Amino acid sequence: MYRVCGDSQIGKSHESKGTICQDAYYCLEKGGVVFAAVADGLGSSKHSDIASKMASRGTVEYCARSIYKGMADNQILATIKAAFDTANFSIKQQAGDNLDDYDTTLTLAVLIDDELYYGHAGDSGIIALCSDGIFEEVTTPQQGSGQGKDRPVFPLASERHWIFGKYKYRVKALFLMTDGMLNKAIPPLLEEQQYQLDHKYLYFLFDNLQKTNDLNTWVSSELAQTSPQEVNYDDKTLVGVINMAARVNLQSQQYYDYPTDEFWTRLTNEHERNLYPYRETIEQSSTVVSTNPHRASADKSSPQKSKPIRKHIVLLAILCVGLVLGIGGTLIVTALVGGDNWNGKLGESPTIPSEQLARRFQEFLERLRGQHQEDEDEELSNTSNNGVGNGNDDITTVPPPGGEGSVGVGFSEWVKQRLLPGIVK
């Protein structure tokens, strides 16, 4: 009538630290009633593995001795509470003055045909497949305020947080899980969605539970699997119970296909964008982006960092050259425009950075004028020696240098002829 299986496996985080598995489970069928419990020893407690074994086995055996078919609901619930009291008392006796070293969670289920009774303390849980084909979370984690691992778990020792009840719907199958598996069946990414449970994964468990021949081998193999939906590498415990005689009206296939691969990919991408909002900006500005944003910022050889540095150096060089050429060009143009009538008052120009620069440039200008005058005198001397006219006795008078019709050239024209070709080159 019933098919029952269960197993616990050490998580990778505990395995890497050399810690033993702190999860435990215990199952028993008696008189047409199934009793099952899972317990998760708190990792910070030195002897939590002992406490989890004592709690799971102790409560199942206690209930199996006292609960039977036809028993009143209130008596069943009172018996489950008494089992919790007994297990808690036994652990306290074992712990003595070191009760904090024996902290554990405890979740117990009693299935009579299609009626489910339970007791709950901590962050393990029960998920049921109801007779209408809907997956339901029967219990919720007993935790304090906070985020993630900062949320304290209320263990078996926190008696005021215990919860007992009879589930309101008829049940076809149920799964008891410690948090290492519960996070896979109820992924945090689905927390704000219409359905918080992973129907696809739960239906996979249900289908194997009713069809697989060797249940123990199957459940051990399933616990060994790791998927992207798992948020940690904690110890994992799974107990599955199915009443083969109970009827169920399954939902459409679409319900059991949730979440689809496309939907899951979209949620994952949105989560990463919210978690690393600056990553998209980095990807748009560079074709090579580290998958670790902190590594990208620390890698001095990273292309997205070296390219902007080279660019800034080039821009700085262009700015300096432009500044020098701008000052020099302004002075030369001023000289060209002013011509022979320019008074040389460079200090009045807004482009001159200092009086010293103006004074030195004025000295340079005077030297240019002197050079110009020497060139004019030499040209005039050559003209006088060669003669200009109709005969040796008829010499043409030469106007003053710079005048109209003179053999020489004005200062501004001389600057163009003597300086500009060298600047261009």
What type of residue sits at position 305?
K
The predicted structure's pLDDT at residue 278: 60
Highest-confidence segment of 99-103, 278-282, 349-353, 396-400: 99-103
What is the structure's pLDDT at 295?
31
Confidence bin at 381 (pLDDT 50/70/90): low
Distance CA 137, CA 229 (A): 18
CA distance 336 to 412: 5
Of residues 341 and 118, which shows the higher confidence score? 118
What confidence score (pLDDT) does residue 216 get?
85
Widest pairwise Cα distance in the chain: 155
Report the chain's mean pLDDT, rounded to a whole number.
77
pLDDT tens-digit series, residues 242-274: 999 999 999 999 999 999 999 999 998 888 888
pLDDT above 60 for 181: yes
pLDDT for the residue numbered 372: 72
**Which pair of tokens denotes residue 313?**
């150096």
Cβ contacts of 148 within 8 Å, gap of 6 or more = none
Side chain identity, residue 251 = Q
Q: pTM of the prediction?
A: 0.64
CATH topology of domain 2-266: Phosphatase 2c; domain 1 (3.60.40)
Which residues on neighbouring strands pair with residue 34, listed in sequence order? 29, 111
Q: Is 317 helix (H, G, I), strand (E, B) or coil?
A: helix
Give me the mean pLDDT over the 400-408 stretch.
43
- Centre a 10 Å sphere on the Cβ of residue 53 and count the other Cβ atoms it contains: 19
Q: Can you tell me the mean pLDDT for 217-228? A: 80
The predicted-structure confidence for 112-160, as pLDDT tens digits, reads as follows: 999 999 999 999 999 999 999 999 999 998 887 666 566 788 989 999 9
Burial of 100 (C-beta count, 10 Å sphere; 0-12/13-18/19+): middle
Rounded Cα–Cα distance for residues 35 and 390 (Å): 140
The structure tokens listed for 347 are 């200090």
- Residue 16 tokens read as 């890497």
* Residue 237 reports pLDDT greater than 90: yes
> What angle in degrees, to the nearest 10, is found between the helix axes of 48-66 and 73-95?
150
- Yes or no: say if 139 and 163 are a contact pair by the CB < 8 Å rule: yes
Contacts of 80 (CB under 8 A, 6+ apart): 59, 63, 108, 110, 117, 118, 119, 164
Q: Which two tokens stand for residue 104?
A: 């554990």
Pair 35, 28: CB distance under 8 Å = yes
- Least confident residue range of 62-66, 193-197, 354-358, 397-401: 397-401
**Of 85, 89, 135, 126, which is closest to residue 107 (Cα–Cα)?**
126
Residues 6+ apart with CB under 8 A from 139: 107, 118, 120, 124, 125, 126, 163
* pLDDT score at 373: 78
**What strand order describes the sheet that includes 171-177?**
2-9, 236-243, 171-177, 125-130, 135-137
Whether pLDDT at 326 is above 80: no
**Segment among 154-158, 351-355, 410-414 with least mean pLDDT:** 351-355
**Is the CB of residue 242 less than 8 Å from the CB of residue 209?**
yes
The confidence score (pLDDT) of residue 96 equals: 86
Burial of 126 per CB tally in 10 Å (0-12, 13-18, 19+): buried
Phi and psi, residue 223, nearest 5°: -65, -25
**Average pLDDT, integer, range 397-423:** 53
Domain extent listing, the chain: 2-266, 310-385+397-424
Q: What is the pLDDT of residue 339?
A: 44
Please report the pLDDT score of residue 322 as a whole number: 53
Neighbours of 212 (CB within 10 A): 17
The model's confidence at residue 78, banded by pLDDT at 50, 70 and 90, is very high
**CA dist list (Å): 265 to 235, 259, 269:** 26, 10, 6
> What are 94-105's pLDDT values in tens digits?
988 888 889 999
Whether omega for the bond prior to residue 187 falls within 30 degrees of 0, making it cis, is no
Instruction: Note the pLDDT of residue 42.
Output: 81
Q: Which of 117, 112, 92 is nearest to 102 (CA)?
A: 92
User: What one-character DSSP code corresponds to residue 10?
Assistant: -
- Rounded to the nearest angstrom, the gap between the alpha carbon of residue 76 and the centroid of all alpha carbons in its chain is 48
pLDDT in tens, 183-219: 899 998 998 898 999 999 999 999 999 999 899 899 8
- Region 85-94 average pLDDT: 95
Q: Strand, coil or helix: what is 54?
A: helix
| Residue 320: per-residue pLDDT | 53
Whether the per-residue pLDDT at 397 is higher than 60: the answer is no
* Crossing angle of the two packed helices 355-386 and 411-418, in degrees rounded to 10: 90
Size (the chain), residues:
425
Beta strand 171-177 with 236-243 is: antiparallel
Look at 69-78, 107-116, 217-226 and tell me which has the smallest mean pLDDT.
217-226
Query: Percent of the chain having pLDDT more than 90?
Result: 44
